[in-house]
Structures are given as C-alpha cells and as structure tokens.
Amino acid sequence: MPAGLPEAAAAVAAGAAGIIHLPLVPGEATALVRRAVTGRTADPDTPAPGEDLSLAAAERRHIVRVLRLCHGNRAEAARVLGIGRNTLWRRLRDTGPTP
C-alpha cells in the first residue's frame, strides 16, 4: 500500500473536508475511500488482506452471523442453519473462540 493511504482513510472516516494531497493510485484510492466510508471493500466477495479463506473459517463466520441475527438464541440459530443444536454446539466448540 503506498505511503499515505492509511492516513487518507483515517481522514475520510473522520469526515475530513477539503483536498487530501497524496500520491494516490486511482484504483487504490477509490477502494480505500469506499472501505473507509462503508467499512467494506468495493466487492463484497473481495477478501480483506490476510483474511482466512478456508471453508472452516467461512462456516464459522456464517454461524456467528446467524447467531447474531438470532440474538444469541442457539436453538433458533440451529433451526435457521438446518442443523441440530448439538451439531451447532460442536461446530462452535471445534472452531474455537469467536473472532
């Protein structure tokens, strides 16, 4: 990442007004601003740098997301996921603490 991009992201996220003078590469600048404003990359399928792309990690992220949507209710989350409560418990246990 070119020098100055993290500072530009922080400035945009903080609501800085005016012009930021940095040697920005157009594609990187656009993605950086979008990430700073939305907290996401331009393409939701684009992984964050260093993101674990294993199937186990994807499963864990999905389980955690469903648990949040179910307000922590494991029985409801298991129903939504189409698995038993014991299976949900085992998968949570086997994949370690919530990231």
The pLDDT of residue 78: 96
Burial of 10 (0-12, 13-18, 19+ CB in 10 A): exposed
Q: How far apart are CA 37 and CA 90, in angstroms?
A: 37
- Alpha-carbon distances of 88 from 6, 49, 96, rounded to whole Å: 39, 29, 13
* 82 has pLDDT over 80: yes
Domains of the chain: 5-38 (no CATH), 55-95 (1.10.10)
> Whole-prediction pTM value?
0.52
Can you give the pLDDT at residue 10?
72
Residue 26: the pLDDT is: 59
